[in-house]
């Protein structure tokens, strides 16, 4: 596999090109679901979000799904995206019970054509939303790129799209792909 969730057994010692993606809680940045809803200027969007507040809490509240996103990238290239419901279900039936009987999600795993399933609500991103590439330079060891212009992909709060190319990805950069918000940890910086 290209990615393995850290709630399974990580390889020891870790590979040289290893990187970790660690999900964050909304309150790590003093972000509150209700404040976000109140800040929406468009009344239709605010009303929609108010109805969907339970889903937002389920993703970003304490403890939300985002908190459980922890994965190790084992390859020099990793496509991040949301695996289809059908792929998630099939993979869950076939593989999850063998890997970890307590695991309930494919989040952080390689599922079908998706190297790292970011999971999240339906339509939160496509199966090929972003790519992390091991490409050492003077700036960083890794780079982040959006695979298209439709998915929401950010690095340190700045949205990136496919036409803007690759961006240096540094240790402790905060990224988002679809519904997943995580801190990037370059394992080479930990040595």
- State the residue for tokens 């279900």: 89
Can you give the pLDDT at residue 97? 47
Bond preceding residue 160 cis, omega within 30 of 0: no
Q: What is the pLDDT of residues 125-175, one digit of tens each?
A: 999 999 999 999 999 999 999 999 999 999 998 999 999 999 999 999 999
Backbone angles phi, psi at 159, to 5 degrees: -75, 140
Contacts 24+ apart (CB under 8 A), 137-141: 137/168, 139/168, 139/170, 140/168, 140/169, 140/170, 140/186, 141/17, 141/186, 141/188
Give the pTM: 0.79
């Amino acid at each position: 596999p290209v990615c393995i969730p850290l709630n399974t057994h990580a390889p020891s010692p870790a590979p040289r090109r290893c990187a970790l993606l660690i999900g964050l809680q909304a309150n790590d940045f003093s972000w509150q679901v209700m404040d976000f809803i109140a800040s929406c200027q468009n009344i239709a969007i605010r009303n929609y979000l108010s109805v969907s507040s339970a889903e937002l809490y389920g993703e970003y509240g304490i403890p939300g799904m985002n908190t459980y996103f922890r994965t190790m990238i084992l390859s020099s290239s990793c496509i991040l995206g949301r695996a289809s419901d059908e792929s998630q279900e099939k993979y869950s039936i076939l593989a999850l019970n063998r890997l970890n009987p307590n695991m309930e999600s494919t989040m952080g795993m390689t599922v079908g054509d998706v190297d790292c399933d970011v999971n999240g609500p339906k339509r939160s991103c496509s199966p090929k939303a972003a790519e992390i590439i091991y490409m050492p330079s003077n700036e960083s060891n890794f780079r982040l790129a959006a695979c298209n212009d439709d998915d929401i992909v950010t690095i340190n709060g700045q949205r990136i799209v496919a036409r803007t190319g690759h961006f240096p990805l540094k240790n402790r950069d905060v990224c988002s792909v679809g519904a997943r918000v995580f801190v990037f940890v370059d394992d080479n910086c930990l040595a």
